[in-house]
């Protein structure tokens, strides 16, 4: 189930909100409200594959018990370390099996085939939606309790609510326990927060329907083409660049909005990433909750920037390598992470003498986004070879298909140009959807409601409604 589906919009969400606020008006305890959220979160998560609920429940139970052992009075250092190790190992094992088993076995079979050995049979493993997100959240809780930077939760229902919280369950933002610990125990429901949350949700939903979906059609057609021309390949790559941003930004805004309706304050997840003037700045603005997770739980423990240059470059390499692996079980994601690692290392090695800083700001921005764009091509491609083919098309090094003129007619229609222009403007303009939604006023509420109604009507006419981050 996704936020932009009719089932969620017209059945699940209204039922949940009515039930939740009826309980609230009856002065139900926060533990009861949390249990209600947990039940509906499990329904949301297991809508298509109910058995996945048991996987999430099992991982949640293990981490909860581990947290109790870590925080137990008089717990020895060995007990604390073993408990942390079990919590991390269980989550990484589940993530490794469900997300990377087929990828690793495929690589192993390719290797042994060169030796003339009969390949192993590979069973098909279904990727549980959102496993990367709730695994990281669970691990962050165990690590923070071990560090003493987060309070241990005593009530299992409360912790289960934190892990399964449906607004951010399948796509983030990654919310750390100490961010919402107080609100899980006691939170305030106000009309202002509910209205603010409604504005966030309405705007995010409209972003998804009017921007991500529309430019996504262009991207899919171009990447499906055998040999698009220079203009079409750049147009399609730009379309994907906008699609992945607005798809994920929209989901983050909707998640933040739903959280506000329930009294939770989730962190900002995007801050105008396409206005960055370096790759390092880009990663400070893109998927902020994931970037900060890697910073606090991997980069800093490795030594961060408090080490020598060689070690610093290795740390950057390792963090971006893990980031690439985290995004998917494909060599394209690994290479995408290393691609960004290369530019981050070059930037750090040259500091203010880096190429970016020798040009005016507009050139810095343009150069950075071209680098990002070529990286997104690698991210989007099904294989390294496909990415290389698209790069060659963008550089005019590939023979153009005879169907390229027909492709141009399909992707340069007035409506396509309009939505691409709108996506371009909202990406590079100083406008920030988070800041706009965060300031409640009557006219902003009216605008949000109007575009939501129009987007909801448009939803009934759209057959194309993917959610890209399902694969992560």
Residues designated catalytic: 327
> Using omega within 30 degrees of 0 as the cis cutoff, is the peptide bond preceding 232 cis?
no
Rounded distance between C-alpha atoms, residue 92 and residue 71, angstroms:
22
Rounded distance between C-alpha atoms, residue 81 and residue 76, angstroms:
9
DSSP, res 117: P
Q: Single out the residue of 179, 196, 195 nearest to residue 187, CA to CA.
A: 179
CA atoms within 13 A on the CB side of 107: 7
Rounded distance between C-alpha atoms, residue 383 and residue 391, angstroms:
13
**Alpha-carbon distances, residue 411 vs 47, 219, 227 (angstroms):** 35, 9, 15
Q: Which helix (H) or strand (E) holds 83?
A: helix 77-113
Residue with tokens 């390719």: 110
Q: Single out the residue of 371, 431, 394 nearest to residue 246, CA to CA.
A: 431
Rounded distance between C-alpha atoms, residue 2 and residue 130, angstroms:
11
Alpha helices in 262-303 (DSSP H): 279-285, 288-294
């Amino acid at each position: 189930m996704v936020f932009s589906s009719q089932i969620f919009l017209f059945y699940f969400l209204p039922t949940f909100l009515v039930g939740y606020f009826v309980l609230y008006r009856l002065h139900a305890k926060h533990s009861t409200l949390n249990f209600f959220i947990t039940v509906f979160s499990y329904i949301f998560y297991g809508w298509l594959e109910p058995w996945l609920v048991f996987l999430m429940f099992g991982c949640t139970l293990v981490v909860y018990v581990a947290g109790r052992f870590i925080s137990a009075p008089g717990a020895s250092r060995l007990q604390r370390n073993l408990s942390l190790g079990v919590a991390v190992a269980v989550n990484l094992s589940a993530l490794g099996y469900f997300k990377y088993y087929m990828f690793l076995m495929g690589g192993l079979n390719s290797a042994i085939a060169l030796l003339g050995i009969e390949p192993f049979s590979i069973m098909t493993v279904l990727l549980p939606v959102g496993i990367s997100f709730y695994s990281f959240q669970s691990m962050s809780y165990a690590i923070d309790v071990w560090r003493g930077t987060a309070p241990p939760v005593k009530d299992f229902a409360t912790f289960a609510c934190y892990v399964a919280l449906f607004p951010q369950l399948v796509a983030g933002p990654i919310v750390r326990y100490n961010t919402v610990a107080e609100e899980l125990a006691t939170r305030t429901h106000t009309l202002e927060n509910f209205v603010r949350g409604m504005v966030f949700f309405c705007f995010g939903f409209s972003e998804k329907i009017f921007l991500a979906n529309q430019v996504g059609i262009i991207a899919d057609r171009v990447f499906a083409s055998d040999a698009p021309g220079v203009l079409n390949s750049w147009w399609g790559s730009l379309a994907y660049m906008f699609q992945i941003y607005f798809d994920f930004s929209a989901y983050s805004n909707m998640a933040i909005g739903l959280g506000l309706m329930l009294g939770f304050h989730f962190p900002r997840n995007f801050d105008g990433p396409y206005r960055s003037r370096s790759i390092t700045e880009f990663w400070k603005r893109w998927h902020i909750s994931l970037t900060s997770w890697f910073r606090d739980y991997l980069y800093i423990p490795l030594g961060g920037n408090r080490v020598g240059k060689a070690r610093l470059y290795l740390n950057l390499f390792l963090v971006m390598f893990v980031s690439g692996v985290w995004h998917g079980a494909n060599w394209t994601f690994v290479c995408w992470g290393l691609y960004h690692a290369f530019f981050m290392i070059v930037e750090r090695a040259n500091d203010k003498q880096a190429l970016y800083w020798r040009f005016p700001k507009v050139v810095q921005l343009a150069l950075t986004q071209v680098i990002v764009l070529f990286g997104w091509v690698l991210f989007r491609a099904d294989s390294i070879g496909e990415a290389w083919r698209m790069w060659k098309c963008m550089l005019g090094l590939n023979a153009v298909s005879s169907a390229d003129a027909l492709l141009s007619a399909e992707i340069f229609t007035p409506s396509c140009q309009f939505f691409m222009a709108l996506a371009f403007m909202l990406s590079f303009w100083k406008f920030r959807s988070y800041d706009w939604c965060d300031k409640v006023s009557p006219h902003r509420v009216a605008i949000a409601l109007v575009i939501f109604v129009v987007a909801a009507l448009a939803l009934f006419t759209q057959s194309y409604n993917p959610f890209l981050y399902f694969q992560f």
